[in-house]
Structure 1
Amino acid sequence: MTTIDTTFRWLGGALHPLDDCDLAESTLAVADSWLVTEGRARALEAHRERFGQAVARLGGTISPDELELFWAQGLALIPREGEWFPRAELLERATGRELRFRVRPAPALQTAVSLWTAPNDPRRTPAVKGPDIPALSRLRQNAQKAGATEAVILGENGTIVDGATTALLWWRSGTLIAPTSDLTRVASVTARTIRMLAGALGTPGSEERARPSDLDGAELWAVNALHGIRPATSWIDGPQLAAPDAARLSAWRRRLEALRRPLPS
């Protein structure tokens, strides 16, 4: 079984291995990725919908039926053993738009995160996952240079909007809180899943516009499709965060894990 990153391009109604000699410039227009563990994935349909909707909003010649076929062929390429982090992509090239599917080994999974406040917001298409990935990757690298593992993006008046590669949720007095929905950001599949579960379980939830200082004493989670839930253990130049509630964290991780389903055969 291969353990390298393999890229396939969509051509003539099928996915083909990408020629290593293909050096033509391209720009990432849309992307979506998710974790596959032993052939099982969480909220796969939500990832498919998010990718499909973003592609459709751009217009062009890619029909819903073609996109469905691309998605199905891509899923068939993912190994059913081990941990993988595949990514569906739409690229802008000089010759037009092109769909690609990358089969990537998952990086080492993390169980906690430390935060750093980004000095600016580098996003140019904040509601679409894809075009800003290079800039957000550089932002996360700057966080690492500062001794953290993730950057927090602030909006107007210093309001917490998002993480560079994560969505942010926090707990206060038993209530699960998210940034208000009018703060433009990528619609996180993992955050939505957690909030829907909370609603089904009767867990109080709300939204608020919060500055970093407002989270002093709160338990903060950074969540995404790769790592699931990671509690923030520290925030450089930020608030003093509460230690995670171990029992609550464990229960929510189990709930998320229980949502994994086998990939289509």
Structure 2
Amino acid sequence: MNKTEAVRDGERWWWGPQPPGDHPPQVIDSWLVQEGRSRRPERHIQRFAATAELFVHFQDLHVVVDEVLARIPRAGRWFPRLEAYNDAVALWLRPAGDAPTEIALWVADVPDPRKWPHIKGPDLVVQGQLQGRARELGAEDALLWRVEEQLPEAMEATYSALVWWDGEAFVTRPDDDLSLPSVTIECLEISLADTPHPLRRGRVTVDALLDKPVWTVNAARGIQQVSSWVLPDGGPRHSPHGALTAGLTSLLCDALDETTGPLPEQLTT
């Protein structure tokens, strides 16, 4: 078999000299496709390719990109996942369910334990453990934080970036090696750039964040309002910003929708 020939294995297609096997992927990326439309899928693929090159020996990723796009159905609602293994690349075609508009976050009881927070994939096991702990305490996901300048700085959720309202503007934290560069954040920055409410970059402590309107944003679920918090010891804390947050949520959702376009047939030329 040629190493760039696609092989079907259940819900996955894979390319490479060896099948992925039972090992976890080293790098992943995924995005939502609804009726053949998506939000900047080329950026997800570019992010995947840039980080996969650091971890895997598979040499023909650029060759399979267009094959990946061709195998994503244009009808229905899908959440395809690209996976990089040592000698293979795989596409996992997963049906996408409906996403709730609100979310509860648990403030993790330990600092962010990830070793590669700026890359999607190497820390999947520890991320799954954190999310599992959050669910045990009645939340859907965990808020990750690190001690910066002797204070716990809010970083992101386990699988989502954060946006908050500081009273005048939407804010998200700066890009650095301590969090994943978010394609959904890029979409919001582009769409909100020439509006009265651009998305700014800034930092916030955990305590300050709990008193602000907050949203989680990611490719799978779009915009979700943080309606309540679970403190590290399991105690509840509700968000007091219901009426204000509803209007701001609509602004964010409309801005994200503006970045949706047809899934391209190919990226290479």
* 1:112, distance to aligned residue in structure 2 (A): 0.9
Q: Judge conservation of contact 1:52–1:67 (CA < 8 Å) in 2.
A: yes
2:244 paired with 1:253:
no
Bigger mean CA offset, 48-57 vs 11-20: 11-20
Shift of the 214–11 alpha-carbon distance from structure 1 to 2, 3 Å rule, reads farther
* 1:68, distance to aligned residue in structure 2 (A): 2.7
* 1:256, distance to aligned residue in structure 2 (A): 1.4
TM-score, normalisation: structure 2:
0.84
Q: Which sections of structure 1, spanning at least 5 residues, go unmatched?
A: 1-9
Residue pairs, 1:210-229, within 5 angstroms = 210-229=204-223
Aligned-pair Cα RMSD in Å: 2.3
State which of 162, 181, 186 in structure 1 corresponds to 2:180: 186
Q: Which residue is 1:143 aligned to?
A: 134
Secondary structure, in 3 states, of the residue corresponding to 1:177? strand
2:26 paired with 1:29:
yes
State which of 74, 94, 98 in structure 2 corresponds to 1:104: 94
Q: Which residue is 1:173 aligned to?
A: 167
Bigger mean CA offset, 197-206 vs 127-136: 197-206
Q: Which sections of structure 2, spanning at least 5 residues, go unmatched?
A: 12-18
* 1:251, distance to aligned residue in structure 2 (A): 3.0
Residue 41 of structure 2 aligns to which amino acid in structure 1? Answer: L
Residues matched between the structures, number: 248
Q: Which residue is 1:43 aligned to?
A: 40
Secondary structure, in 3 states, of the residue corresponding to 2:100? coil
Bigger mean CA offset, 176-185 vs 229-238: 176-185
**Using the alignment, how far apart are the partners of 1:59 and 1:35 within structure 2?**
25
Q: Judge conservation of contact 1:195–1:205 (CA < 8 Å) in 2.
A: yes
Percent identity over paired residues: 29
Q: Judge conservation of contact 1:167–1:188 (CA < 8 Å) in 2.
A: yes
**Using the alignment, how far apart are the partners of 2:84 and 2:58 within structure 1?**
12
**Using the alignment, how far apart are the partners of 1:30 and 1:50 within structure 2?**
10
**Using the alignment, how far apart are the partners of 1:107 and 1:139 within structure 2?**
22
Q: Which residue is 2:15 aligned to?
A: none
Q: Which residue is 1:128 aligned to?
A: 119
TM-score, normalisation: structure 1:
0.85
Shift of the 125–11 alpha-carbon distance from structure 1 to 2, 3 Å rule, reads farther
**Using the alignment, how far apart are the partners of 2:152 and 2:262 within structure 1?**
42
Q: Judge conservation of contact 2:154–2:209 (CA < 8 Å) in 1.
A: no
Q: Which runs of 4+ in 1 moved over 4 A?
A: none
Q: Which residue is 1:200 aligned to?
A: 194
Q: Judge conservation of contact 1:111–1:230 (CA < 8 Å) in 2.
A: yes
Shift of the 49–26 alpha-carbon distance from structure 1 to 2, 3 Å rule, reads same
Residue by residue, what CA displacement relative to the aligned partner does 1:114-158 show, whole Å, maximum 9, x if unpaired?
A: 010112223121111011122212211211110011100010131
Q: Judge conservation of contact 1:86–1:102 (CA < 8 Å) in 2.
A: yes
Residue by residue, what CA displacement relative to the aligned partner does 1:81-138 show, whole Å, maximum 9, x if unpaired?
A: 111000111013xxxx211111111133121110101122231211110111222122
